[in-house]
Chains A and B, each alone.
Chain A
Amino acid sequence: ELKVEQNPLFLSMQEGKNYTIYCNYSTTSDRLYWYRQDPGKSLESLFVLLSNGAVKQEGRLMASLDTKARLSTLHITAAVHDLSATYFCAVVTITTSGTYKYIFGTGTRLKVLA
């Protein structure tokens, strides 16, 4: 069974600092998504990574994918308070019936302190 683990589970950091969130998954997949969730809200799409070595950046966030290591990272540069949220990665897996589904990571709760 595909497992997706994130670490850390909780991250408290000062504004202006850099940090990386890690997403490890247990079986082959070449497509990975990153989402942001604010309290009481649904998911906001951040990045889709479609191939090994893919790197995408938007503002202070940069995501990368290493399919050989089964690892994706979400790097935060010079954090600001507005980035406080929970971040999820999700891995696409193809089912035995030929359909697909997402397996979500455990989530990382980020709190940026002013």
Chain B
Amino acid sequence: GAVVSQHPSRVICKSGTSVKIECRSLDFQATTMFWYRQFPKKSLMLMATSNEGSKATYEQGVEKDKFLINHASLTLSTLTVTSAHPEDSSFYICSASVREFSYEQYFGPGTRLTVT
């Protein structure tokens, strides 16, 4: 149980275009989803926390208009990188949790974004 999927696993896009990454909890309802960014050989940096049906809470320094997060249902959150640039190339990982049971986060497999 507690499986989180991400789609796509890899995406290459041209500079100036937008790309959407989906995060789904497959066998549980996730009250909260988290989006992380990881640069090569670096740690995970929390970008934002989203709760179903409400606006995401972004970490300091993360551009809300650049990284649009939507948590439309208890099993789906999306991250849209708008007007992508090469510096947005990174490994994006989502996680999901069910707050009332624990602070446990279940991590997705990650999405490798390359902007050319």
Q: A residues near B, CB below 8 A? A: 31, 40-43, 45, 48, 88, 92, 97, 99-107, 109
The total of interchain contacts (Cβ-Cβ below 8 angstroms) comes to 39
With A31-B103, A42-B93: A104-B44 Cβ-Cβ less than 8 Å:
yes
Asked if B103 and A106 make an inter-chain contact with CB atoms under 8 angstroms apart, the answer reads: no
> CB-CB < 8 A to A45: which residues of B?
107
Say what secondary structure dominates the interface of chain A. Answer: strand
Interface string of B9-36 (1 = CB under 8 A from A): 0000000000000000000000010100
Contact of A88 among B41, B43, B49, B105 (CB under 8 A): B43
Q: Which residues of B contact A (CB under 8 A)?
A: 32, 34, 41-46, 49, 51, 57, 93, 99, 103-105, 107-110, 112
Question: Which residues of the partner chain A approach B99 to less than 8 Å between Cβ atoms?
Answer: 100
Q: Can you list 7 residue pairs at the A/B interface with Cβ under 8 Å?
A: A31-B103, A88-B44, A97-B57, A100-B103, A101-B46, A101-B49, A104-B45
Contact B107 A109 (CB under 8 A): no
In Å, the complex CA distance between A51 and B6 comes to 32
* Docked-complex contact B109 and A41, CB < 8 angstroms: yes
Contact A43 B93 (CB under 8 A): yes
